Structures are given as structure tokens and as C-alpha cells.
Structure 1
């Protein structure tokens, strides 16, 4: 091994770089592994996606199905839908790979969301990591769009309805909406014959490459700025503590990778997801009750449902159509608040220092309270997206649900913010009282009385 390393170093000079990489210190806390879960889910996505590209036909040309699924035989459908049905039933391991791909997409987005929550609530976005934070937020936005395109490529009844909703939302962009729709769809919905080819290229080529580039830059920035770490006695703003890349972190990370891959393939093989042969092919004259997108777009559907039906018109011209409010303004507001938060917090707190130690939520109760309020706002809109399913399963009136959500979406975030702030301030005060008591006992004086810690 020494001779091999020496030979490689003599010909490439990689020893200093390798030595620095192997000595890189990783924080010893489970929450820092959420980003690695996203990385490994993305690798599974790429691997399974490459397999699926060999059999998928990105064409809207109409054909008559004569395959192995009895309930679909004789049905007119697109080449795209036909190819996905064939992948599921005629291609070896096709259904396993397709379902694993779908599960990996869900885990990829979920792990990014959880990682973003960890970064936000601990203050890991502060100087000097603002750019790292923005790149991670951009990856989340691209992942949502990538998932939407992958979901839509199937051309089943549900995904076709999702495309119709996306068409209406894009059309609602003031002034340029019609031009954008013409650029993307090539004509009135469902678009020209080349639309599926363009969507396919964006899904399998453009967006994955862009996500991979952002992911690489994100990892390089993390390595150059080093990981943040939680406060403890030995840790300081200038001293990094944790596990070295080798021999500690590398085996643990490899074990996590194998675990993520194993779980995703187990889900793909044992847990059914998106059984498109039950929905049937999409037709512009067809619809179904309870059509739902994947969970990560549920909050956008809910926003479209709870916004009252009104347009902004001048004369006979509609300037801002109704879908704009829930389909574009709301996600723009959520992502906009998250994007400007590092600078907004810095302006309010006037804290321009470099931070390598992160906070617990109780250390920054205002940030935690406002973050929970924003999460509650998104969660209520997500619940509103399931109103039709609640009507079907439990018989609750749909209009009454929507009316209730229109009130709850503004009241619940305020209530949650107040409760979270009070709880965290109480926890911090209790901790300060306990610290004062321990300090007094250590100094040999009388223990501090309850409430003496201030706050």
C-alpha cells in the first residue's frame, strides 16, 4: 500500500490534498447526516433514472394498447403512457426500478427539507455560510420542479391533470404568462407534439446536471468553510471538534449510503407507489375525484384551493388571474422569506460576526417562533390540499373545509409562534436558574432561588 501511494504521489502530487481530506473533521451529531441522505438518494435517482431512459418513449403520439394489462387492452393512449406501462409489466426489474426511482425522489426532497430546517433553526446560515445556504435553498426549488416533471412524464390521468394545473398557473403570470405558456407548451393545452420531448430533456438532462453542479459547489463550500458544530465546553468559534474523515467518518458514511440504498430498494420492491395502470391514460375530457400530486406539491394545490376566486381586471382585460395568488405568489413568498432571512436577521440583530457554533432553538426563540409560524402556514395549506379526500372519506362538506382553512391559515401561525416563543423562553430561564444554582454550590455559597436567573 505504501509503494502504491508513493507511486501515485510521484506522478500526481496528490498526497498533500489526500492528507488534508483524510484529516477533515466532521461533527459528531446525527442531524448533520441529513445532507448525506439527500446525496445518496440523488445517486439512486440518477442510477435508476438512467435505466428507465432505455425504455421510456417521450412521445404524445396516440396508439392502441395491446399489451399484457387486460383492463387497458384496446384503450387509446400516448406512446409515453404505453412505454411506462410496459416498463412496469414487460421489462425485467422495470417495476422495481420505477418504484425505487419514485421513492428516491420522495426521500431526496424530504431529506433536503429536513436539512434546511436543521440549518434554519440552528442558525447555520449565518456568516460566512450565506452562499452555502442559498445554494441549498436553490436545490430544493429545482428538486420540486424536477419531481413535478418526472411525475408528469408518465401521462396518466393524474399527471395529465397536474400538467393542466401547471398550464393554468403559468398562464396566470401577469403580462408575460401567455408568452411563457407558448414557449413551454408550444400551443394551447395539451401543447404541440414536441412538448413531451422538451419536458423529457429537461427532466433527464438539464435539471439533473444543474442539481449536480449545485450539489458539488455546495459540498465544496461546506468543506472550505468547515461544518458548524453545536456548543459544548471544548468547542469554540475557532476550534473544530469531531471525527476525522478516516478512519472514523468514512466507514460511517459508507454504512449510511448502503442503508439508504437498501431502504429505497426495499420500498421500491415492497411498497406500491403511483400504480398508473389503475388511473388510466390522460384525456383532456376526463377527470377524477381526489386527484392529488406527490406530497411535496400538496401545499401548492392547497393554496390554489383556499385563495378566494377573484381576478384583477382593468376594463375588459384580466391583469392578474386568480391562479397567480396561490400558484406563484405563495411559493414566491415562502422561498423569498427563506432567501432573505440571513440578511434580515443580521439587520435586526446587528450581528455581523462569523459563526461556527450553532444555536439550539431556545438560544434564539424569536427565530424559532417565526420559523415555526412559517412551517405552520405551509402545513395548513398542505392540509387544505387534501380537502377533497376528506370529503370522500369522511363526508365533511368541501366548501366548509375551505372556508375554515381560509381562517386557520392566518390564525394558526400566530398562535404557534406565541406558544413556541413562550416555551423556549421558559426553557432558557429554567436552564439559567439551574446554572446559577450549580455555580453557587460550586463556590460553596447558598443555592440560587427559583427565578433568580433572570432572562
Structure 2
């Protein structure tokens, strides 16, 4: 069966979160189209030249040809600045939508079999998109991008044994060198082709299985309730034009990355208040949170913990995020195929882990602006960093337990509504002289969603006290069991709830 035949016969769930993945694709297409326009005018060279262009404050200044071509593109080429801003904004929208899409998949359990491979592909897309964003940000060769390269050079050189060689490869002999020789082909050829390949692979893999859908009356693991292909195609086309139009309007009205304000790159200078791209801020924040001077000499090498520790922690964090489907499968021993998505509250352990990870990421992200926070609130940078250090350690733990308790409380409230209905606000007197509030029956569909979901039992006591059994009982020991199994007809659910 051809791809078009599969699409025509496919039913698509109609939920707003489904469109996040399509926003990623449309923003990527917009990024590619605007990038093709920029290719004609950009010169990827660090060779020196004297600027003689339309931007008067830098007229006569010595700079690289890359920076000069970026200025000419912004001020002398028709629609050049608009295309630069469309390119930048579209890439930001793509990564933001991709992160939201992956969070939706994580919290609803859409990564479970048979979609584990799709999750790994999405993780690869996220890594490639972030790499493409970084390599593109350094191409103007302005002072801000040069500061990012200086941080990158220090991080590479901190790697034991091979750090100097890595820096030499990236910077074509050593910092500052000529990094555009590596970053330009990566940004315009290698990473775009990799993204196209991963997106196509993700689409093909998604078509092999029925779409995942949220629980509801009549929805089971074997059927799909939604819209036909023609209707979804029309709505998707409208979304495409909406994304393109909104990005263009924002690009034409909201300035971003004004490289002419930063000036040309000089290895001896640094821009005050410099910050990385928002989605890479957590990397810079991790470097700032480790106290300086953490190093020791071993095997004739200096091991700089101030760099190795944050790099190692961030690497473990991202790896755990990408491999979480396998971690959860190992804990639950659940290898069944799942086509019904979970409400986040119905899996308190996973939701708590996800929120604690978001808090950890958020603390590292905010720490990247510690100096800006200090100056705006008239605080010392040291105190701000100490506060973020405490938050990085305590915040995820508090967020985990608080989220788990909130999810369990919401489950208990859902159970009460399914069994007894919702409060009506009407108070009546009872025969014994007391007062009671009248409850009215909830909507059948709402009762079904609250009563029927997938339970998560901990490992039995017979498994002993191995690592898996201990973790399973710690995460799933405190739980609220469903009233009825998921997938039953609404009538059956109502009967069982009332019984």
C-alpha cells in the first residue's frame, strides 16, 4: 500500500496537541526557505576587510568579511533584514514547538511501545536542531557570537587528553582560528540534511502504527476516533499559512539579534550581559553554578571539575531524558503496545519525574542570566549564584514530591466525582436535623474519563529488595487504582461506577 493510500484510509485524532508536531515541520520549512535566500548574500570568510556600507557607525571599521556581508544583508539588500529575522524567529518557533511536542509525548506516555523508536528519533531531531541553531548563531562573526566561541573553546580544552586536539579541529588550528570553515558547512548542508532525514524517518515510522489518542467513551486500543484525511489536510494547510503569516508579522515588527549593535568580533573583547540562545541557556547556567578553582592533577593532566562536572551532569540529564522510555519499561516491565494516552495525573510517578526535570532545567536556564538578575535587582552575583545552587539541588526534589501529591489528590477527587457526582451548591436539611449538600451526577463522558484509566502496580514483595523492586515500590507504592479497566463501553462503566 502506498503512502497516499495509507493517508486516505487513516483517521486522525482531533486534539490541539496534535498540531504541535506540524508546527515543527512548517517552521522548519520556513527556516529552510529563508535560509536559501540568505545563502546568496552571505560570505563565510574570516578574512579581514574595511566596511564601507550603509551603517554609518561602523563605516571604515575593520572586520571579517562574514560580518561585513551580514551588515550589507541587513541594510543594503532588499528584504534582507526581514529574511534574517524570519530565519531567526522561525528557528526559535521550531525548537519551542518541538520541546512542547516532546513534553506532550512524555507526560501522556505516547513514547511507550510501539512508538519508542519515534521518541529516539525526536530526541535526535532536538539535538540536531539545537546544533543547527548554535552553528547559525556564530556565522555573523559578531562580538556576541565570538563570546560563545570563547566559552566553547574553554569547554573543549577542559576535556582530558583530547581537549587540545578537539579545539584545534573546531577552530582550524586553535582559537580564534577560522571556525566558519567547520560551522558553515555544518549549518547549511550537514545539519539540514540530517534534519530532513530524521523528519522523514519519523513520519514513516508514525504511519506504520495507528495514531495514539486520549481516552474517552468508546475509544479502545484497537480503534481510532477522529477526522478523515481530507478534513485534516485542509486544517493542516490552514495551520501552515497561519504559522508562516505569524512568523512573518513578528519578524517584521519585533527586532532580534541586532548584530550591528554588538560590533565585529575581537578575541580580546567580551560583551557585557551576553547570554546564549534561550534553548542553550541551561548549558551556560551549568557552567556558572560550579564554584571556580575545582581542579586537581592526575596522570600528569589537570582535571578541571568546574567544567567537567556541569558537562557531565547535563550529559547525564539529556541521556536520561532520551532513554526514559527504556527506564520506565525496566521499572514497570510493561512491554505491551499502547494506543491510549494517559492523563498526566493518572501516572503520578512519571509526571513528578517530568516536572522535577523541568525545574532542574529551568534553574540551569535561569542561572545563565545570573549577572543580569544581579544588576537589575541590585544583588551581588555571588548571592544570586548561591541561591541557584541551592535551587538546583533542592528544587527538583521538592517539585517531585509536590507534583506526586497533587496528582494523587486530583485522582482522589476524580474518583469521588465518578462515585458521588459533583457538588451542586444546594444544601438540604436531613431527617436527623443535620444538613447535607446535594450532589448531581456528572456528565457520562466525564465520569468515564475519571473512572477508567490504566493502573500502575508496584513490584510485588516476592521480588525482594533489588534496585528495580525498591524503585518500583517507591514510585508506584502510593497510588489510586482505577474503578474500571480502560476501554470498556460507557454503559458498562456507568453501571460499574454506580455499583
**Structure 2 runs not aligned, ≥5 long:** 423-438, 442-478, 482-499
**Alignment-derived partner of residue 211 in structure 1:** 195
Q: Does residue 93 in structure 1 map to residue 76 in structure 2? A: no
Match of 1:132 in 2: 118
Q: 1:322 aligns with which of 302, 306, 318?
A: 306
Contact 2:45 2:66 in 1 (8 A): yes
Are 1:105 and 2:102 counterparts?
no
CA deviations over 1:56-95 (Å, ceiling 9, x no partner) = 0000001111111111012111000000000000000000
Partner of 2:229: 245
Q: TM-score, normalised by structure 1?
A: 0.91
Aligned partner of 1:259 in structure 2 is 242
Residues 1:260 and 1:441: Cα distance change in structure 2 (over 3 Å): closer
Q: 2:351 aligned to 346, 352, 368, which one?
A: 368
CA distance in 2, matches of 1:226, 1:308: 50
- Is contact 1:311–1:318 with CA below 8 Å preserved after alignment? yes
Question: How far is 1:171 from its partner?
Answer: 2.0
Describe the SS at the equivalent of 1:63.
strand
Please, which of 409, 412, 426 is the counterpart of residue 409 of structure 2? 426
- Which residue is equivalent to 2:31? 45
Q: 1:181 is paired with a residue of what secondary structure?
A: helix
Alignment of 1:48-447 (within 5 A): 48-191=34-177, 193=178, 195-246=179-230, 248-309=231-292, 310-314=294-298, 316-320=300-304, 322-326=306-310, 328-437=311-420
Measured after TM superposition, the shift of residue 17 of structure 1 is: 4.9
Relative to its length, the structure with more helix (as a share) is 1
- Alpha-carbon distance between aligned partners in 2 of 1:208 and 1:413, rounded to the nearest angstrom: 35
Task: Count how many residue pairs are aligned between Structure 1 and Structure 2.
Answer: 427
Kindly provide the CA deviation profile for residues 345-391 of structure 1, in whole angstroms up to 9, marking residues without a partner as x: 11111211110111011110010001100110000011111111112
How far, CA to CA, are the matches of 2:308 and 2:130 in structure 1? 18
For residue 111 of structure 1, report the CA deviation from its aligned partner: 0.6
Q: Report the Cα offset of residue 181 of structure 1.
A: 1.7
Cα RMSD between the aligned structures? 1.8
The aligned residue for residue 430 of structure 2 is: none
Could you say what secondary structure the match of 2:379 adopts? coil
**Unaligned runs of at least 5 residues, structure 1:** 1-13, 443-452
How big is the shift at 1:436? 2.1
Which segment drifts farther, 133-142 or 338-347? 338-347
8 A Cα contact 1:146 1:207, kept in partner: yes
Q: How high is the TM-score relative to the length of structure 2?
A: 0.83
> C-alpha displacement at 1:308, in angstroms?
1.9
Q: Is the 8 A contact 2:273 2:371 kept in 1?
A: yes
Q: Is the 8 A contact 2:286 2:314 kept in 1?
A: no
Deviations 1:157-188 (A, max 9, x none): 10010011111112222322222222222212
Secondary structure of 2:174's partner? coil
Q: Deviations over 1:288-347 (max 9, x none)?
A: 210111111111111110012212421652134532222x21331121111221111111
* In structure 2, C-alpha distance between the alignment counterparts of 1:361 and 1:312, rounded to whole Å: 45
